[in-house]
Chains A and B, each alone.
Chain A
Amino acid sequence: MNGAGRRPGVVGWLMLAPLLLWLAAFVVVPTGILAVYSFCERDELGRVVFSFSLQSYARAFDPVYLGIFARSIGYAALTTAICIVLGFPVAWTIARASETWRQRLLLLVMVPFWTSFLIRTYAWITILKSDGVLSALLQSARVIGAPLELLYTPTAVVIGLVYAYLPFMILPIYASAEKLDGTLIEAAHDLGCGPLRTFREVIVPLTKPGIYAGVLLVFVPAIGMFAITDLMGGARVPMIGSVIQNQFFQARDWPFGAALGVVFTLMFVVSYWILQRRSAAA
């Protein structure tokens, strides 16, 4: 622990300065503006009027919006769960592969990022639409008789979310799994652990930091995602991300949008805090 508890010297502060400036300019100041706006009112034009009001918060806790929050969290939780189930074996396999294969497989995980996220989402629309690639394939293989009605359904939304966030689950788990000492697994086997018990009592606890990091990286952004829910879900059921976006453009009610944003941010902070406590306890 030596050094970690010491206060940084002049050189240390200088090296920290860019980070602190960045945090102040892009995190502290915007969050402050958001917090101030959320207590303001709007005029007829939609401009923010600086008079104290709790009206926006009263509305944000209306059952309609709480329901939308709950739905968004539900979708994000399902997405996260599926990402763990799909991502863990992939990350594990990559981490246990030989050096050359590891590099190649990691590259494959990252290749999709070379293309714009929106273009990839449109590609999924082409795959999932009723006269699309998947439907045609399944029909010609005689798996299904009628065209597939998948696009613009909640299933399509979850497919889109899992696709978008899976790499963010794979990479942190991979980082943990790669560092895991293989001899510990051998030791577990030697001491009579079956594969399932080894997995539960050795592998999972040792890769927990990676899993927690993955959960944060997937769950938090998935709650606020609006592009996928609008494009692949047909904008039929409102998600909190699109509701907030609508306040800034369509409804021209910035204080309400800001209040929803503040509530949303506080939820992140609380969920992060809970995860931190749990990982500290683990």
Chain B
Amino acid sequence: MTENDTLVARPQPDGQQPLLQAEHVQLFFPIRSGDLIGRTIGAVHAVDDVSLSLMEGHTLGIVGESGCGKSTLARCLVRLLEPTGGTLRFHDTDITHLGRKSLQPFRREVQLVFQDPVSSLNPRKRVGQIVGTPMRLHGVRRGEVPSRVRELLERVGLNPEHVNRFPHEFSGGQRQRIGVARALATNPRLIVLDEPVSALDVSIQAQVINLLDDLQDDFNLSYVFIAHDLSVVRHFSDQIAVMYLGKFMEVSPAAELYHKPIHPYTEALLSAIPIPDPRENRDRERRVIGGEPPNPISPPPGCRFHTRCPRATDICKEVEPPLAEYAEGHLAACHHPLNVGSAEISAATRSPLSPLSAGSVMPGGREEAAPGTPLPGVSRVTAGPGESPDGQDGAG
């Protein structure tokens, strides 16, 4: 891993700018009372202070269980949702609060592929229209559209003769290829893939993953790949972020995460996946974590994982751990890190990606305060747990 592979939101040494950058992004869904006044009585903390940066041509995998906020984060990153706090930057432009019109050029650069290949394609439109419409909207001349559509269909492994067919005439894997072709139609630089293969059979999954892999090389695409387990993202992520209840628990170069998980939650996720090898499965020591993710309306104080964590102690219930940066850009937010020695722990530094609400206690009990002032341009929402460290705010 070279220096510019790390996911740190500071200027890169070679001057290369990250393509997409999120600083302390929050998205809270308000909960309104059922009465006529409709007061806001609480909020679902779907994404709570997440920072990331993605370099051109790279892939960031985001993994987490259902309800952890990964899809909401994806929708924030492509600005289908407007963040309630924090900043989003796409290649120098602050896109956090841009309106419909001003987002237009950004829409061409960033596309989304959805999980469900049935409901994400209009059943009444022919494939040619589905793939051709984004081209026309973004200024390809009418006469050129049909030939470009055919070219794209062929590129994603579909028969270009099928432009006049409807989505229902295709199998699941083929429909997902249509979704990919539609995303490519505007010649984007970034594609956010929201569980693009989880609805497909294994043998078809492999076909689509290989296709996405080829397209990345051919078009120099950057990907954000959302997944609910760690086995699929491994294949082509450069970095992987593990998300739990709205926050990043661990961010690591892809290969290292599997050999050296630092956060107990990552280890729990890894150990929960059964290995397709009966003997190794029998010999493996499986640590099944009990319980279920808590309610994101009133997330637990301190470390969000402490209610299920086998290593939790008193400090975990009170102080939110900052993201500590270990060697080679491997970040983890845990007071009791796994697989790191005491030398590594004392060499770790507080990452600027740490949530603003995180405490000053680093692993090993060392104090390292957050930089005095929040980063410029970062606004906070009043309902944030930063102001209310017991995390009980809004639990109506």
Answer yes or no: do A and B interact: no
Residues of A within 8 A of B (CB): none
Which residues on B are within 8 Å of A, measured CB to CB?
none
